[in-house]
Amino acid sequence: MAAKILSGKPVADAILAEAKARIEKLGFTPSLHIIKASGSKAQDSFVKMKVKACNSVGGKAVVHELNDPSEAELISLIKELNKDTGVHGIVVQLPLPKNVSTLNVLEALDIKKDVDGLHPLNLGRLLSGLEAKPTATANAVIRILEWYGINVEGADVVIVNNSILVGRPLFAMLTSRMATVTVCHIKTKNLSEKTLKADVLISATGVPRLITDKMVGEGSVVIDAGTSFVEGTLVGDVDFQSVSQKVSAITPVPGGVGPVTVATIIRNLVECASEAS
């Protein structure tokens, strides 16, 4: 029996509809500034989605595309945007070039304009249970689970990712919901032994089709938060064709976590704009 497809579209549409209604009450146009310092095709795709979503709800999106910038150049741009009262939200597309310290760049953000929730202070607040402006991708996973009525309380959840974008914030949000969470990563031994035991499996490695049907348990739920390009086609971490025949529910790529991540960023932008008004 084929799995239920957990489409991100209705979830994203609901978040964006709420954001649009709130913007109409603000009396001004929230401005989102996106900093892109990489030639990644996956990043290009997400930048376009963010611009489209922002414009669709009555916001304004501005993209700053830098060609192999130094860390100093990136931080200088962020400081300018921090000072600009017409800028309500800032997103730094990750990963950054190898010569740039991600921590230094994220620390340079004004936490009141950090719509991706990645400033160390905002991450710390998330760890303490405050989810006012949660990390976008992690929150997207939570919103999808909640939308489709998938209860994680008491569930064994395995996350294949330990980054600040997904794995670490998701660990905090899921444990707050009383799930039992295992976080795996590139050094994890016998990965399939962990993933086979999962009631809910979440993968976000960017390794194409890493998760096969032999790595998932019968009737489990699979959330694919990974993206990469194979021969010009956007694919996820999960071998969708085989895995979808074994599990009870699965998110597609594209059309799953991605749209909800973008919608969550727009929601966070509205929060930032509301606080600035």
Q: Supply the CATH number for residue 41's domain.
A: 3.40.50.10860
Question: Is position 166 within any domain?
Answer: yes
Whole-model pTM: value is 0.94
Same domain, 182 and 240: yes
Report d(CA 67, CA 129) in Å as an integer. Answer: 38
Question: Is position 124 within any domain?
Answer: no
Q: Please give the tally of structural domains in the chain.
A: 2
Residue 13 has pLDDT above 70, yes or no: yes
What's the confidence (pLDDT) of residue 232?
81
Residue 1 has pLDDT above 70, yes or no: no
Report d(CA 273, CA 15) in Å as an integer. Answer: 16
Same domain, 105 and 145: no
Task: Report CA-CA distances (Å) from 17 to 4, 21, 38, 56.
Answer: 25, 6, 31, 10
Phi, psi torsion values for 16, nearest 5 degrees: -70, -35
- Give residue 66's domain range: 29-111
Mean pLDDT along residues 142-157:
98
Same domain, 96 and 148: no
Question: Is position 234 within any domain?
Answer: yes
For residue 231, the domain's CATH number is 3.40.50.720
Question: Is position 252 within any domain?
Answer: yes
Residue 207 has pLDDT above 70, yes or no: yes
Question: Is position 171 within any domain?
Answer: yes
Same domain, 140 and 253: yes
Active site residues: 50, 93, 116
What's the confidence (pLDDT) of residue 29?
97
Same domain, 247 and 206: yes
Same domain, 151 and 104: no
What's the confidence (pLDDT) of residue 148?
98
Bond before 69 cis per omega within 30 degrees: no
